[in-house]
Structure 1
Amino acid sequence: MNKTMSIIFAFLLLINISCSKAQDKLKPIINSKTMNEQPIYTLKVTSSNPYESYINNMVLEKDYLTGSSDSELIINDLILKSGKQKLQIVLLPNDGNKTVDKLGIDYLTLSIYRYNNGYSSYVERKSTLIYEFKLDDPHVEMPLITKEWIFNIDVPYKLKNWEHSIDLRKEDEDKLLKEVVDYYNHLANIINKGDKKSFLTIMKVKNSEVFKSLYNDAELIKEDERYIDNKLSKSIGNIQPLENYNIMYYGNGRIVTLEDKKGETPLFAEDKNDIYSYQIYLHRPYPNAPLEVIR
């Protein structure tokens, strides 16, 4: 399972083949405007099949494990501003099957929850269900099922938007791949040396945007810094060579990353106790600009 949204310590908690590309506008279960100042939103997925979930064309999770699963992940950093948001699910067949069966379709449930008061209500599990989504049975066997929904969310912030970044799909893929791999190797060297200052400089935009979306105060930011310190210290000298990766495009082609066949980052350190993964998403803010970490 890919928990790629390495959001912060305090909140740790494409395939483009479509059965249905229809975008259904959902009415909220309750009025989402009756919110406090710091709402945290999550997507909860209950599934008996492997799946991929996306918010606003950005990957949230890739769970390729067979069998039932129940996952709830924060989506705030993928909500760039108030208004219409897009949820996409890709439902895959279980191992040994060539198609998604009716049981898998019927069992799948996707729910958007709101935690009204930021971190405190999240820790206390005080949530409100505001949207619920189900798949319709296509009545035909499909090798996978893709469905999209449009829903509305209100947030008291605006994040740096990549919608005006360069569409990387239009660039020479071989040159782009080399640039992306070079970026990963540069970051790998920084991590391998435990160079916290350079690491934080690279992650500055990502961290500030995520902190804003999660309303982090000074105490939570310090907790995250301690987590980063610990992770970096355990990664020193333990970064593994990049291998078995593919270039992947998200955000309507404006975001690029590397993933292995499990949907996980190929950039990680490993010691005798654990694996320390580093997932990054890159964009080019304007023509001829170098790639930058945006998430």
Structure 2
Amino acid sequence: MNNPIYNFEIKAFYCLVELTINDVLVFSHYEENGSIWVDWPINQYILDSGIQSFEVKVLPYKEHDTLFEKAQLEIGIHAISESGSERIEVLEKKEINIPNKAELPFFIQKGPFTATVPYKNTGWKASVDLKKEDEKKLLAEILQWKSKLLNVYTSSDIKEYNVIYGEREKEFATAYYTEYQENTPEVFHSKFKNLTALPKDLYQLVLYADGKLASVKLPTELPGFTFDPKVKDENGLGISLILFFHRKKEGAPLEVIR
């Protein structure tokens, strides 16, 4: 197959779900609405061909200590050609047996899969192992990005936006077989001027990719920062930024890579 696009299928009932690809949290479902069914594209987390890994974590609803008896999970992986004319089942979709649900605080299903892609993204392959760094200093460095990014969005600074996200978006373009183009001011909604940051003590430090990636996380969001509207009403507009940082070499500042 030429230019495959890999998708992870999740069908779940009466539970919360987190999906990790190659030790990076890429998808979460924290809404207590009964069911979810998604095909989630994962090419940006596949740096090159070879053995990859996945982990699906099933969690109970927030006010419960264990899983519901009627919690269910189906997973699968497939690749479709860029044109959409071909499809290959990489991991046949099937229901996962979850034994003794009422006794489990969570359940994890994980395993390997093979991906064959025509590109090689550098990503975080040679990045610094952040597990070896002082956690308080690392957290403080990431939190500095909160005000930096808030300023970019409230001032519609497209030049700085392209500097911050340039490397990430170039690798996204490679992973999805498109040509990279710098963003234009249209990426900024007019209501972004009224954004405000959440208190820093709400965030906790999280590490991924065996310590090569770091971010901060709210309990019910993917890693990154959430900015709320200054006035919370039906006209307000907030934004959640999914962010993973890496350090290219010892002593270098953190940069956005995903």
TM-score interval (norm. to shorter): 0.7 to 0.9
Deviation digits for residues 30-71 of structure 1, max 9, x if unmatched? xxxxx12x1111111000111100100011111111211111
1:47 aligns with 2:16: no
Shift of 1:236: 4.2
Distance 1:156 1:231, change over 3 A: same
Task: Check whether the contact 1:235–1:276 (CA below 8 A) recurs between aligned residues.
Answer: no
CA distance in 2 between partners of 1:190 and 1:273 (Å): 19
Q: How does 1:150-169 map to 2 (within 5 A)?
A: 150-169=112-131
Shift of 1:137: 3.3
**Residue of structure 2 equivalent to 1:130:** 90
1:266 to 211, 215, 225: 225
CA distance in 1 between partners of 2:154 and 2:204 (Å): 22
CA distance in 1 between partners of 2:159 and 2:19 (Å): 33
Shift of 1:261: 1.4
Cα RMSD after superposing both structures: 2.2
Residue type of the partner of 2:50? G
Task: Check whether the contact 1:239–1:267 (CA below 8 A) recurs between aligned residues.
Answer: no
CA distance in 2 between partners of 1:217 and 1:235 (Å): 29
Shift of 1:266: 2.8
1:237 aligns with 2:193: yes
Normalization by structure 2: what TM-score?
0.87
Aligned residues between the structures: 247
**Residue of structure 1 equivalent to 2:152:** 190
Task: Check whether the contact 2:75–2:96 (CA below 8 A) recurs between aligned residues.
Answer: no
Shift of 1:164: 2.7
Deviation digits for residues 185-240 of structure 1, max 9, x if unmatched? 1122122211101110111110000000001147xx48xx35xx333243542221
CA distance in 1 between partners of 2:191 and 2:215 (Å): 21
Normalization by structure 1: what TM-score?
0.76
Moved more, 157-166 or 79-88: 157-166
Deviation digits for residues 134-183 of structure 1, max 9, x if unmatched? 43334472100122110111001011131332221221111111111112
Shift of 1:83: 0.7
Residue type of the partner of 1:148? K
Shift of 1:96: 4.3
Shift of 1:255: 0.8
CA distance in 2 between partners of 1:166 and 1:233 (Å): 35
2:135 to 173, 177, 183: 173
Shift of 1:273: 5.2
Q: How does 1:205-220 map to 2 (within 5 A)?
A: 205-217=167-179
Other structure's SS at 1:187 match: helix
Task: Check whether the contact 1:249–1:255 (CA below 8 A) recurs between aligned residues.
Answer: yes
Higher strand share: 2
**Residue of structure 2 equivalent to 1:21:** none
Distance 1:268 1:241, change over 3 A: closer
Higher relative contact order (Cα pairs below 8 Å, separated by 6+ residues): 1
Residue type of the partner of 1:137? I
What is the aligned-residue identity percentage? 28
**Residue of structure 2 equivalent to 1:249:** 207
1:113 aligns with 2:117: no
Distance 1:236 1:103, change over 3 A: closer
Deviation digits for residues 111-132 of structure 1, max 9, x if unmatched? 112111x1x42xx8x6443313
Task: Check whether the contact 1:112–1:131 (CA below 8 A) recurs between aligned residues.
Answer: yes
Distance 1:262 1:137, change over 3 A: closer
**Residue of structure 2 equivalent to 1:148:** 110
